[in-house]
């Protein structure tokens, strides 16, 4: 009798668990012209503030032009919807897909076409708010214009009409988002205080360049409900990160393993200027790398150290590249750094990307002999770094 009762209770608990799982999510549906039975839609999850991809939900299309799915979720989430046809290749576009921000319990509907997937209109959830709806409409119109220009580039590329490719290429490169779109975005991110969508907008559009003081002041303006929401907590956590890298503050101590397997700690550089240099294959790195090398050669004997960070072995990134590119002096300069290099993707080093907010490349961060951050930024920070070193080490 006890076994039967236990099994019955287990069955009830299992049903209850399944029901809970089914209600912790949101409904996503839409009418997309061009959608065919057997096509697949991929709903990719991204985490802010670093836009890291964190899983994909798959939706199989069962009816022409229409799709519907229940998407399990635990908190407000940013998604990107992309399309894979049953036959052939996906359409090429300059807009990756349809962006969606949804909460638990939302019923989000999309309206548009596959040709303009990045310009669909949204309804339901946050999108029923008048200001969000206005932003959505302006974004869709702007993305439509960009997709149209990009389509012309592809058309003339296929027919090898180079003059027309150049014409529309210039139009694309010189395209500017409407001023009204920026105005509405800024209103949502900086002036609305009672909606989690505003916290999301601030996290996605402003945290990238914001200071510790900026984020602290903005977070304080939100209502307690928004502060305690998922994206409110994202901003709160970002405060700790920004304080750790803020000019005038001392970054937290850390220990990582360099590319040769040796332990390296920030405390190893006490009493010296240390330039943290996060780099990768990009034009900015190609521009600043020889300048950093010159600074190192000029001031190393006077008290400058450089601690380099990059994702992994550059030779891996160069696989598939032409021999000519591999022999390029800019690439060779990256392969012959005279300072310590740390691979952030090596086991045990991943934390440093978040702690030092390596949100792009190149990032320069100059720390004083007493452990205080003096300068930080992208390529523009080079001049400030150089001036500080010239002033403090130039006469030694």
Task: Give the gyration radius of the chain's Cα atoms.
Answer: 25
pTM summary value: 0.78
Across residues 60-64, what is the average pLDDT? 97
pLDDT exceeds 70 at position 109: yes
Beta bridge mates, 57 = 43
pLDDT value at residue 118: 97
**Per the domain annotation, does 354 fall within a domain?**
yes
Instruction: Answer whether residue 2 is part of any domain.
Output: no
Say how far apart CA 298 and CA 107 lie, in whole Å: 61
DSSP string, 277-289: EE--SSHHHHHHH
pLDDT reading at 77 higher than 70: yes
Angle (CA) 132-138-144 rounded to 5° is 135
Q: Does 7 fall in a domain?
A: no
266 and 206 share one domain: no
Domain count, the chain: 3
Residue 3 has pLDDT above 60, yes or no: no
Supply the mean pLDDT for the chain. 92
% of the chain beyond a pLDDT of 70 = 94
Give the model's pLDDT for residue 8.
44
Q: Are strands 263-265 and 255-257 parallel, antiparallel or unpaired?
A: antiparallel
- 395: number of CA atoms within 13 Å, CB side? 3
Same domain, 129 and 187: no
Q: Domain limits at 128?
A: 25-174
| Together in a domain, 62 and 123 | yes
Query: Do 109 and 206 share a structural domain?
Result: no
Nearest to 361 by CA among 285, 296, 286, 309: 285
Tens of pLDDT, residues 317-328: 787 778 888 889
18 pLDDT more than 80: no
| CATH number of residue 70's parent domain | 2.60.40
Mind listing the pLDDT tens digit for each residue in 133-184? 999 999 999 999 999 999 999 999 999 999 999 999 999 989 999 999 999 9
pLDDT band of residue 78 (cuts 50, 70, 90) is very high
Residues 121 and 187 in one domain: no
pLDDT of 296 strictly over 90: yes
- The pLDDT, as a whole number, for residue 179 is 96
Is position 357 within any domain? Answer: yes
pLDDT digits (tens, 9 = 90+) for 198-256: 999 999 989 877 889 999 999 999 999 999 999 999 999 999 999 999 999 999 999 99
Tell me which of 117, 149, 174 is where a domain ends: 174
% the chain with pLDDT above 90: 85
**DSSP single-letter state for residue 37:** T
Contact 101, 48 (CB under 8 A): no
Does residue 76 sit in the same domain as residue 204? no
Residue 359: CB partners within 8 Å, gap ≥ 6? 49, 50, 208
- What per-residue confidence (pLDDT) applies to 6? 43
Q: Inform me whether the pLDDT recorded for 22 exceeds 80.
A: no
Is the pLDDT at 7 greater than 50? The verdict is no
Angle (nearest 5°) at CA 205 between 217 and 360: 105
Q: What CATH number is associated with residue 308?
A: 3.40.30.10
- pLDDT of the residue at 23: 64
Are 61 and 102 in the same domain?
Answer: yes
pLDDT-based confidence at residue 309 (cuts at 50, 70, 90): very high
**Which tokens hold the place of 218?**
């903005």
Boundary (domain end) residue, out of 144, 174, 204: 174
| C-alpha angle 14-18-19 in degrees, rounded to nearest 5 | 115
- Whether 38 and 159 map to the same domain: the answer is yes
1 domain-assigned: no
Mean pLDDT along residues 50-61: 93
- Which of 174, 203, 235 is a domain's end point? 174
Q: Is 324 exposed, middle or buried (0-12, 13-18, 19+ CB in 10 A)?
A: exposed
Phi, psi (5° rounding) for residue 27?
A: -95, 135
Q: Are residues 165 and 81 in the same domain?
A: yes
Shared domain check, 168 and 31: yes
Q: Are residues 37 and 124 in the same domain?
A: yes
Structure tokens at 79: 């998604």
Residues 192 and 273 grouped into a single domain:
no
Q: State how far the alpha carbon of 61 is from the alpha carbons of 40, 58, 84, 132, 349, in Å.
A: 6, 10, 10, 28, 41
């Amino acid at each position: 009798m006890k076994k039967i009762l236990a099994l019955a209770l287990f069955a009830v608990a299992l049903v209850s668990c399944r029901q809970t799982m089914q209600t912790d999510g949101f409904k996503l549906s839409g009418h997309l012209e061009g959608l065919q039975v057997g096509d697949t839609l991929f709903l990719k999850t991204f985490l802010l503030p670093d836009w890291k991809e964190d899983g994909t939900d798959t939706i199989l299309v069962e009816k022409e032009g229409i799709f519907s799915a229940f998407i399990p979720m635990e908190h407000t989430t940013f998604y990107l919807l992309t399309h894979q046809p049953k036959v052939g290749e996906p359409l090429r576009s300059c807009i990756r897909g349809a962006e969606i921000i949804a909460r638990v319990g939302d019923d989000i509907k999309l309206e548009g076409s596959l040709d303009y997937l990045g310009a669909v209109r949204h309804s339901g959830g946050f999108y029923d708010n008048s200001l969000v709806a206005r932003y959505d409409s302006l974004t869709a119109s702007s993305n439509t214009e960009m997709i149209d220009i990009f389509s012309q580039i592809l058309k003339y590329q296929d027919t090898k009409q180079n003059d027309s490719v150049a014409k529309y290429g210039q139009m694309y490169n010189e395209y500017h988002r409407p001023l009204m779109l920026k105005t509405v975005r800024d209103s949502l991110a900086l002036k609305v205080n009672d909606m989690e969508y505003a916290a999301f907008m601030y996290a996605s559009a402003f945290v990238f360049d914001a200071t510790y003081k900026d984020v602290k002041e903005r977070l304080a303006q939100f209502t307690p409900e928004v502060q305690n929401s998922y994206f409110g907590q994202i901003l709160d956590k970002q405060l700790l990160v920004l304080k750790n890298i803020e000019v005038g503050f001392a970054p937290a101590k850390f220990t990582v393993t360099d590319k040769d397997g040796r332990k390296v700690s920030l405390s190893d550089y006490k009493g010296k200027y240390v330039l943290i240099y996060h780099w990768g294959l990009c034009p900015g790195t190609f521009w600043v790398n020889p300048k950093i090398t010159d600074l190192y050669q000029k001031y190393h004997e006077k008290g400058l150290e450089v601690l380099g960070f990059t994702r992994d072995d550059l030779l891996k990134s160069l696989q598939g590249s032409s021999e000519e590119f591999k022999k390029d002096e800019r690439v060779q300069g990256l392969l012959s750094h005279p300072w310590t290099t740390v691979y952030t993707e090596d086991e045990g080093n991943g934390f440093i990307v978040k702690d030092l907010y390596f949100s792009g490349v190149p990032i320069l961060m100059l720390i004083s002999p007493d452990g205080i951050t003096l300068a930080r930024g992208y390529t523009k920070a080079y001049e400030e770094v150089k001036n500080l070193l010239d002033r403090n080490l130039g006469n030694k």
